[in-house]
Chain A
Amino acid sequence: MSKKKQLGVGIDLGTMNIVSARQGEKGIDIRRIRDAFLDLDLSAKKMLKLSGVDFIERENEILLIGDAALETANVFGQEARRPLSQGLISAGEIDAIEVLGILVRHVLGEPTEKNEVCYFSIPAAPVDDLTRDVIYHEGVFERIVQECGYDAVASNEAMAIIFSDCAKEGFSGLAISFGAGMCNIALAINTIEGLCFSVARGGDWIDAGASKATGSTQSKITALKEAGIDLLNPKTREEEALAVYYKSLIKYCLKHIANEFKKIKGKFSMPKPIPLVISGGTSKAGGFVEFFQQVFEEQRSRFPIEISEIRHAKDPLNAVALGLYVQAQNEYDED
């Protein structure tokens, strides 16, 4: 492999995590940081120093970023803030943009050479919420990545899964990225994008719904979910509520895929059945793929796309970053 082929970076900018992937000495180096921050008074500085927590000092406050923000938030009885909401930056959140700049710079690090190609993920426009501003989101991240010294290239989040997990099918497949803020969906045949859209529901929507249904708090439900639940065998009321909302989200995605596919049916030929690849943090719940299969079988007769198999991405948390890295690396391939 030539030295040129070692170049290229992929960065997945998610609501919950920011993940980068690039070639390392022993394989692919994956760097991850929690997409959260917490602002504290300067008075907390001493305590933080004693506890050994890393922090960033601003003019008149202290900023905890990443996992430290989530962990410390409980100690101070606060909620950690999230720079992205439902997968997108909200316009006007100047604080969030500055934090995102810091997070991205730390995860990306310095470029190997000036203007190294960096593919960054962007969601597709949500079909169920036309008010969400994807253009602003893309513009902000493009600027951040460029300011870090990279040549920034925006690429669809779900298409990245096709590049990371559908090589054996000639980069043909239907990919669903179940994220915290939204679900991104892409259909591709031989790398050619046929359908790309998102729905403004994801893991956060499940947590909010389940907490409302059980009279619990969202953070409790999130903690319960992250501790590990079995969707096929829910034990408590909270787990049952979670399973109901998971099922609803899967049905919602399948319904929208069918609707969107009908719009392009005549323009897009699919010579053979394609795989359906599931990825994203929300898909990490126990038994998710089997649960998805059960829901899908109920809908199969009405589903307009022939599916050969339903499978989990090889690395569901990092699939998007890896797919973006594949595309970035491809830019350096000699002709």
Chain B
Amino acid sequence: MRKYILTCICPSYIVSEINKTFYLRDTWVLSEKEYNQPFVQRLLRMGVFSVAIKQECRMKKKPPTTKIPPFVKMRGGVPKTTPTPPSQQGVSEQSLKDIVQAEMAQMKQQIVQEISGELSSMLQQQGGAQMDMEALGKLITQSIQASLPVGGVAPAQQVQATPIDEDDEPIYIPSNITGSGIVSGSSMSVESISTDDSVSDAASALRAMKKKRKK
């Protein structure tokens, strides 16, 4: 069933038919039958009210769905995974500390091994001459860099939340606008002039550009 919501768009107006005064932004809800009354139509034509149409319809109730925040929303078709038991989700601070310490120790050992190997070969090459301190510095830097893990975690990027489609509000566009059967009279004057083809250059330039792009 349609409902017509009339909103007063003039400072004040007395509707004598219903003996009521409407002030700016006052609303008046009418049924289709009431809306089609001649005096209502006349008020609309006079620009006293603006009208909004509301279509009431019964819809099948949707089962309640839990809304997932956009940043964890999965695409359709992704297989469901069994939830991880809560005991496995948390990592204790101590175990994390142990892992880091073990890895650090391993890396240190690797650096020492690499430096000592290179150092001994350098000393052999130079035959006991004084060690070049600059070369030694470079060697240490290279060794440390080589032992560091390649890659790394990318800095966290701000994920823009995509709005969840709240039931998309439909836009009502009336049909049969030009042939609503109300025009029955005379014609109207339309100013008509003929100019020289001032846009032929533009049309040919656009055509040329289109061809060029295709090539």
Contacts and interface: CB of A to CB of B under 8 A. Distances in A.
Interface of A: 23-33, 39, 54-62, 65-68, 81, 90-95, 97-98, 100-102, 104-107, 135-136, 139-140, 143-144, 147-148, 163-165, 167-168, 170-171, 190-191, 314-315, 318, 322-323, 325-327, 329-330, 333, 335
Given A140-B177, A326-B202, A135 B190 contact: no
B76 to A, nearest CB: 27
Contact of A326 (B189, B203, B214): B203
Nearest to B205: A167
A314 B182 CA distance: 39
B191 A65 contact: no
B43 to A, nearest CB: 11
Contacts of B191: 31-33, 67
A171 B206 contact: yes
A28 B206 contact: no
Contacts of B187: 54, 106
B198 A315 contact: yes
A166 to B, nearest CB: 8
Contacts, number: 162
B185 A27 contact: no
Given A101-B177, A143-B173, A147-B179, A326 B206 contact: yes
B190 A31 contact: yes
Contact of A329 (B183, B188, B203): B203
B143 interface: no
B144 interface: no
B107 interface: no
Interface stretch (B49-57, B83-91, B114-122, B128-136): B49-57
Contacts of A148: 178
A54 B192 CA distance: 16
A98 B177 CA distance: 6
Interface in B168-214: 171, 173-180, 182-199, 201-203, 205-207, 209-210, 214
A58 B182 contact: yes
Nearest to B180: A98
B70 interface: no
Given A66-B190, A144-B178, A95 B44 contact: yes
B188 A29 contact: no
B198 A28 contact: yes
A27 B178 contact: no
The secondary structure that dominates the A interface is: mixed
Name the residue in B47, B187, B199 with the highest tally of chain A Cβ atoms < 10 Å from its Cβ.
Answer: B199
Nearest to B193: A30
B58 interface: no
A93 B177 contact: no
B145 to A, nearest CB: 32
A57 B182 CA distance: 8
30 contacts: A24-B194, A29-B192, A29-B194, A30-B195, A31-B191, A33-B190, A54-B186, A55-B188, A56-B188, A60-B42, A68-B188, A81-B47, A90-B50, A92-B7, A98-B182, A104-B178, A105-B178, A106-B188, A106-B190, A135-B171, A140-B174, A143-B177, A147-B177, A163-B206, A164-B199, A171-B209, A318-B195, A326-B199, A326-B206, A333-B210
B215 interface: no
Contacts of A94: 44, 51, 174
A164 B202 contact: yes
A168 B193 CA distance: 26
Interface in B50-104: 50-53
A57 B188 CA distance: 12
Given A58-B183, A68-B188, A101-B178, A171 B205 contact: yes
